[in-house]
Structure 1
Amino acid sequence: MLDLRETAATLEQFVEGAVVVRDAAILSTRMAREVDKWTLEPLGEIRVGVTEYEHRSTGKLLLTVTRFTTAAGRTLSVPYALATKPARGRRLWGARAPAGPARA
Protein backbone atom coordinates (compact mmCIF):
# COMPACT_ATOMS: atom_id res chain seq x y z
CA MET A 1 0.00 0.00 0.00
CA LEU A 2 1.35 3.43 -1.00
CA ASP A 3 0.27 6.95 -0.15
CA LEU A 4 -0.58 8.60 -3.50
CA ARG A 5 0.74 12.07 -2.73
CA GLU A 6 4.02 10.89 -1.27
CA THR A 7 4.89 8.20 -3.82
CA ALA A 8 3.58 9.48 -7.18
CA ALA A 9 7.08 10.36 -8.37
CA THR A 10 8.64 7.10 -7.18
CA LEU A 11 6.30 4.95 -9.29
CA GLU A 12 8.31 5.98 -12.36
CA GLN A 13 11.13 3.67 -11.28
CA PHE A 14 8.92 0.66 -12.01
CA VAL A 15 8.35 1.45 -15.70
CA GLU A 16 11.65 -0.03 -16.92
CA GLY A 17 12.28 -2.52 -14.14
CA ALA A 18 11.31 -6.11 -13.62
CA VAL A 19 8.62 -5.20 -11.10
CA VAL A 20 5.10 -6.36 -11.94
CA VAL A 21 2.04 -4.49 -10.69
CA ARG A 22 -1.03 -6.67 -10.22
CA ASP A 23 -4.61 -5.73 -9.39
CA ALA A 24 -4.20 -2.11 -8.31
CA ALA A 25 -6.87 -0.19 -6.40
CA ILE A 26 -7.27 3.09 -4.53
CA LEU A 27 -8.28 2.92 -0.89
CA SER A 28 -10.23 6.03 0.06
CA THR A 29 -10.20 6.77 3.78
CA ARG A 30 -12.04 10.10 3.41
CA MET A 31 -10.07 12.07 5.97
CA ALA A 32 -9.66 9.16 8.39
CA ARG A 33 -13.33 8.31 8.83
CA GLU A 34 -14.27 5.12 10.60
CA VAL A 35 -12.84 2.02 8.92
CA ASP A 36 -16.27 0.72 7.94
CA LYS A 37 -16.71 3.86 5.78
CA TRP A 38 -13.54 3.31 3.70
CA THR A 39 -13.99 2.40 0.04
CA LEU A 40 -11.83 0.46 -2.40
CA GLU A 41 -11.89 1.52 -6.07
CA PRO A 42 -10.27 -0.84 -8.59
CA LEU A 43 -7.94 0.89 -11.04
CA GLY A 44 -8.08 0.57 -14.80
CA GLU A 45 -4.71 2.24 -15.46
CA ILE A 46 -1.68 3.89 -13.85
CA ARG A 47 0.28 6.23 -16.12
CA VAL A 48 3.46 8.04 -14.99
CA GLY A 49 5.14 11.10 -16.47
CA VAL A 50 1.95 12.62 -17.90
CA THR A 51 1.87 16.40 -18.19
CA GLU A 52 -1.15 18.54 -17.39
CA TYR A 53 -1.73 22.24 -16.90
CA GLU A 54 -2.42 23.09 -13.29
CA HIS A 55 -5.98 24.11 -12.57
CA ARG A 56 -5.80 26.21 -9.44
CA SER A 57 -4.60 29.62 -10.57
CA THR A 58 -3.81 30.78 -14.11
CA GLY A 59 -3.58 27.33 -15.66
CA LYS A 60 -0.27 28.19 -17.32
CA LEU A 61 2.07 25.97 -15.30
CA LEU A 62 2.76 22.60 -16.89
CA LEU A 63 3.08 19.86 -14.30
CA THR A 64 4.32 16.27 -14.45
CA VAL A 65 1.79 13.97 -12.81
CA THR A 66 1.06 10.35 -12.14
CA ARG A 67 -2.48 9.70 -13.41
CA PHE A 68 -4.65 7.04 -11.83
CA THR A 69 -7.80 6.03 -13.72
CA THR A 70 -10.37 3.93 -11.89
CA ALA A 71 -12.22 1.07 -13.53
CA ALA A 72 -15.28 3.35 -13.49
CA GLY A 73 -13.41 6.03 -15.48
CA ARG A 74 -12.67 8.56 -12.72
CA THR A 75 -9.18 10.08 -12.91
CA LEU A 76 -6.91 11.30 -10.14
CA SER A 77 -3.79 13.22 -11.08
CA VAL A 78 -1.03 13.57 -8.50
CA PRO A 79 1.54 16.26 -9.47
CA TYR A 80 5.17 15.83 -8.50
CA ALA A 81 7.29 18.16 -10.69
CA LEU A 82 7.21 21.08 -13.11
CA ALA A 83 7.40 20.10 -16.80
CA THR A 84 8.97 21.90 -19.75
CA LYS A 85 7.09 20.16 -22.59
CA PRO A 86 3.90 18.11 -22.98
CA ALA A 87 4.08 14.33 -22.59
CA ARG A 88 1.58 11.47 -22.68
CA GLY A 89 3.52 9.58 -20.05
CA ARG A 90 4.04 5.84 -19.93
CA ARG A 91 1.67 3.18 -18.75
CA LEU A 92 2.91 1.48 -15.63
CA TRP A 93 -0.10 -0.76 -15.34
CA GLY A 94 -3.35 -1.36 -17.16
CA ALA A 95 -6.19 -3.68 -16.23
CA ARG A 96 -7.01 -6.39 -18.68
CA ALA A 97 -10.57 -6.73 -19.85
CA PRO A 98 -12.27 -9.80 -18.39
CA ALA A 99 -12.31 -12.76 -20.75
CA GLY A 100 -15.60 -13.20 -22.54
CA PRO A 101 -17.47 -16.48 -22.84
CA ALA A 102 -15.87 -19.12 -25.04
CA ARG A 103 -17.36 -19.35 -28.51
CA ALA A 104 -18.05 -22.66 -30.16
Structure 2
Amino acid sequence: MLDLPATAATLEQFVGGDVVLRDAAVLSTRLAREVEQWTLEPLCEIRVGATEYEHRGTGKQLLTVTRFTTAAGRTLSVPYALATQPARGRRLWRAKAPAAPARA
Protein backbone atom coordinates (compact mmCIF):
# COMPACT_ATOMS: atom_id res chain seq x y z
CA MET A 1 0.00 0.00 0.00
CA LEU A 2 1.38 3.40 -1.00
CA ASP A 3 0.33 6.94 -0.10
CA LEU A 4 -0.37 8.65 -3.46
CA PRO A 5 1.02 12.14 -2.76
CA ALA A 6 4.15 10.78 -1.10
CA THR A 7 4.98 8.20 -3.78
CA ALA A 8 3.80 9.68 -7.12
CA ALA A 9 7.34 10.63 -8.16
CA THR A 10 8.91 7.37 -7.02
CA LEU A 11 6.70 5.26 -9.30
CA GLU A 12 8.79 6.46 -12.25
CA GLN A 13 11.61 4.14 -11.15
CA PHE A 14 9.48 1.15 -12.21
CA VAL A 15 9.15 2.19 -15.87
CA GLY A 16 11.18 -0.19 -18.00
CA GLY A 17 12.51 -2.06 -14.99
CA ASP A 18 12.31 -5.65 -13.85
CA VAL A 19 9.45 -5.02 -11.43
CA VAL A 20 6.04 -6.40 -12.38
CA LEU A 21 2.92 -4.66 -11.14
CA ARG A 22 -0.11 -6.92 -10.80
CA ASP A 23 -3.49 -5.37 -10.18
CA ALA A 24 -3.82 -1.94 -8.64
CA ALA A 25 -6.52 -0.03 -6.82
CA VAL A 26 -7.03 3.21 -4.94
CA LEU A 27 -8.24 2.97 -1.37
CA SER A 28 -10.43 5.97 -0.59
CA THR A 29 -10.59 6.63 3.14
CA ARG A 30 -12.96 9.59 2.72
CA LEU A 31 -11.03 11.93 5.01
CA ALA A 32 -10.40 9.29 7.68
CA ARG A 33 -14.02 8.28 8.22
CA GLU A 34 -14.94 4.94 9.75
CA VAL A 35 -13.41 1.88 8.07
CA GLU A 36 -16.84 0.68 6.96
CA GLN A 37 -17.09 3.76 4.71
CA TRP A 38 -13.77 3.20 2.92
CA THR A 39 -13.95 2.13 -0.73
CA LEU A 40 -11.54 0.30 -3.00
CA GLU A 41 -11.52 1.53 -6.61
CA PRO A 42 -9.76 -0.76 -9.13
CA LEU A 43 -7.42 1.04 -11.51
CA CYS A 44 -7.24 0.51 -15.24
CA GLU A 45 -4.07 2.56 -15.87
CA ILE A 46 -1.15 4.29 -14.17
CA ARG A 47 0.80 6.81 -16.24
CA VAL A 48 3.91 8.61 -14.93
CA GLY A 49 5.51 11.78 -16.25
CA ALA A 50 2.35 13.22 -17.84
CA THR A 51 1.83 16.97 -17.68
CA GLU A 52 -1.18 19.07 -16.80
CA TYR A 53 -1.80 22.68 -16.03
CA GLU A 54 -2.46 23.34 -12.37
CA HIS A 55 -6.12 23.14 -11.34
CA ARG A 56 -7.06 21.23 -14.52
CA GLY A 57 -6.39 24.03 -16.98
CA THR A 58 -7.30 27.10 -14.95
CA GLY A 59 -3.73 27.86 -13.89
CA LYS A 60 -0.69 28.89 -15.89
CA GLN A 61 1.88 26.55 -14.34
CA LEU A 62 2.59 23.25 -16.11
CA LEU A 63 3.06 20.36 -13.68
CA THR A 64 4.45 16.85 -14.05
CA VAL A 65 1.97 14.34 -12.62
CA THR A 66 1.38 10.68 -12.05
CA ARG A 67 -2.10 9.97 -13.42
CA PHE A 68 -4.24 7.17 -12.03
CA THR A 69 -7.37 6.17 -14.00
CA THR A 70 -9.96 4.05 -12.25
CA ALA A 71 -11.96 1.29 -13.92
CA ALA A 72 -14.99 3.59 -13.63
CA GLY A 73 -13.17 6.28 -15.66
CA ARG A 74 -12.30 8.67 -12.82
CA THR A 75 -8.86 10.28 -13.11
CA LEU A 76 -6.66 11.17 -10.15
CA SER A 77 -3.61 13.29 -10.94
CA VAL A 78 -0.88 13.68 -8.33
CA PRO A 79 1.61 16.49 -9.16
CA TYR A 80 5.24 16.07 -8.14
CA ALA A 81 7.34 18.54 -10.18
CA LEU A 82 7.21 21.57 -12.45
CA ALA A 83 7.33 20.89 -16.18
CA THR A 84 8.75 22.91 -19.06
CA GLN A 85 6.89 21.25 -21.94
CA PRO A 86 3.76 19.11 -22.38
CA ALA A 87 4.12 15.32 -22.25
CA ARG A 88 1.77 12.33 -22.40
CA GLY A 89 3.85 10.45 -19.89
CA ARG A 90 4.74 6.77 -19.90
CA ARG A 91 2.33 4.00 -19.09
CA LEU A 92 3.57 2.16 -16.04
CA TRP A 93 0.68 -0.27 -15.88
CA ARG A 94 -2.57 -1.06 -17.66
CA ALA A 95 -5.23 -3.55 -16.63
CA LYS A 96 -5.73 -6.41 -19.00
CA ALA A 97 -9.10 -6.61 -20.69
CA PRO A 98 -11.30 -9.38 -19.34
CA ALA A 99 -11.03 -12.58 -21.33
CA ALA A 100 -13.86 -13.28 -23.76
CA PRO A 101 -16.06 -16.24 -22.80
CA ALA A 102 -15.20 -19.48 -24.57
CA ARG A 103 -17.52 -20.57 -27.35
CA ALA A 104 -19.09 -24.00 -27.19
TM-score by length of 1: 0.95
Alignment size in residue pairs: 104
Q: Match of 1:67?
A: 67
Cα RMSD (Å) of the superposition? 1.4
Note the alpha carbon deviations across 1:28-59, whole angstroms, 9 max, x for none.
00111111110000000000000001128951
Q: Match of 1:91?
A: 91
3-state SS of 2:5 partner: helix
Structure 2 portions without partners, runs of 5+: none
Residues 88 and 57 (structure 1), Cα distance of their counterparts in 2 relative to 1, 3 Å cut: closer
Q: Match of 2:53?
A: 53
TM-score by length of 2: 0.95
Structure 1 portions without partners, runs of 5+: none
Residues 45 and 57 (structure 1), Cα distance of their counterparts in 2 relative to 1, 3 Å cut: closer
3-state SS of 1:23 partner: coil
Q: Match of 2:76?
A: 76
Query: Matched residues, percent identical?
Result: 84
Return 54-63 or 21-30, whichever deviates more.
54-63
